[in-house]
Amino acid sequence: MKKKKILQENEPTLVELLQKFKLFTGLSEKELAVACEASEPQALEFKRGNSLYVQGELVPFVDCLDRGTLVSQKYHIDGHVQLVNSYIPPSVVNLEAVVSRKGTSPTTIIANSPCRVIRIPYNNLVHNRKIPVAIRIAIFDNIVAAMADESIRFMNKSDILSRHKVKERAIIFMDILRERYNSNSFDIGMNQEEFAQYLCVDRSTLSEALNELRRKDQIEFQGSIYTLKFPET
């Protein structure tokens, strides 16, 4: 299922890989090296279809997605499966679970493609006396900021799902990504089946809506790459 990856000589070090994650914003390379040595992160590889976490499982780690894509799915008692989120690098995965009181995963996290995750024991990172207090405070501040971003993301999804028309849901979702990435073209990190699950509609309904938007020259898409073509709002 997963294994420790031995980084090759020509690959970046773990410190260099972790520098791009917002969880470590504001830390110098030297400070991050101190945190890295004390917290003992591991580079893990997952094959497509492997589960990082199963819904309800304890989450003791912070997972930083370095390569590949992941999706989180919620399984309901009636058999319905809802796609809750998709992740592309550099994303910190399931952070809300590891910092919650219960400490369990609310969803199942699945590798959507071969991927590499830098996995760090949470307690080693934020409660480790080997890491200077100033560094731990900086990391904790970044965790709070990340959780605030996650709260905004869920607020945005509530706005998306409040719209009755599938076309409106799709456009609002893409407009949020346009604003996030400051570009009219972006990778949504999902195939069309997963996009339909995210919008809580069936694939044929979404396909019809997207093709209509394309005919009207309002969007263009190829695979998971979408371009929003009408004026910015």
149 within a domain of the structure (yes/no): no
Average pLDDT over residues 163-176: 92
Q: Are residues 10 and 50 in the same domain?
A: yes
Task: Give the end of a domain, one of 94, 112, 142.
Answer: 142
233 within a domain of the structure (yes/no): no
Predicted local distance difference test score (pLDDT) of residue 9: 57
Predicted local distance difference test score (pLDDT) of residue 121: 96
Buried b (16+ CB within 10 A) or exposed e, 179-205: eeeeebebebbbbeebbbbbbebeeee
* Number of domains comprising the chain: 2
Is residue 4 predicted with pLDDT exceeding 50? no
83 within a domain of the structure (yes/no): yes
Q: How confident is the model at residue 10 (pLDDT cuts 50, 70, 90)?
A: low
Q: Are residues 98 and 184 in the same domain?
A: no
Provide the token pair at 110. 């699945």
Pick the residue with more confidence: 85 or 58?
58
Q: Are residues 28 and 78 in the same domain?
A: yes
pLDDT tens by residue, 201-230: 889 999 999 999 999 999 999 999 999 986
Predicted local distance difference test score (pLDDT) of residue 35: 95
Task: Give the end of a domain, one of 142, 173, 191.
Answer: 142
153 within a domain of the structure (yes/no): no
Q: Are residues 10 and 110 in the same domain?
A: yes
Is residue 165 predicted with pLDDT exceeding 60? yes
Weakest-pLDDT range from 27-41, 141-155, 201-215 = 141-155
154 within a domain of the structure (yes/no): no
Weakest-pLDDT range from 1-5, 160-164, 175-179, 202-206 = 1-5
pTM for the complete prediction?
0.73
Helix (H) or strand (E) holding 138: helix 133-161
Is residue 64 predicted with pLDDT exceeding 80? yes
Residue 178 contacts residue 186 (beta carbons within 8 Å): yes
Average pLDDT over residues 196-205: 89
Is residue 50 predicted with pLDDT exceeding 70? yes
Task: Give the end of a domain, one of 142, 174, 197.
Answer: 142
63 within a domain of the structure (yes/no): yes
Is residue 231 predicted with pLDDT exceeding 70? no
Q: Are residues 15 and 104 in the same domain?
A: yes
Predicted local distance difference test score (pLDDT) of residue 43: 94
Is residue 86 predicted with pLDDT exceeding 90? no
Containing structural domain, residue 90: 2-142
Residue 44 contacts residue 3 (beta carbons within 8 Å): yes
Return the CATH number at 202: 1.10.10.10
Q: Are residues 120 and 179 in the same domain?
A: no
Q: How confident is the model at residue 233 (pLDDT cuts 50, 70, 90)?
A: very low
Across the chain, mean pLDDT equals: 89
Predicted local distance difference test score (pLDDT) of residue 22: 93
Q: Are residues 19 and 53 in the same domain?
A: yes
182 within a domain of the structure (yes/no): yes
Strands (E), 101-218: 108-111, 115-121, 185-187
Q: Are residues 85 and 26 in the same domain?
A: yes
Is residue 1 predicted with pLDDT exceeding 50? no
Residue 214 contacts residue 220 (beta carbons within 8 Å): yes
Q: Are residues 7 and 86 in the same domain?
A: yes
Return the CATH number at 22: 2.60.120.10
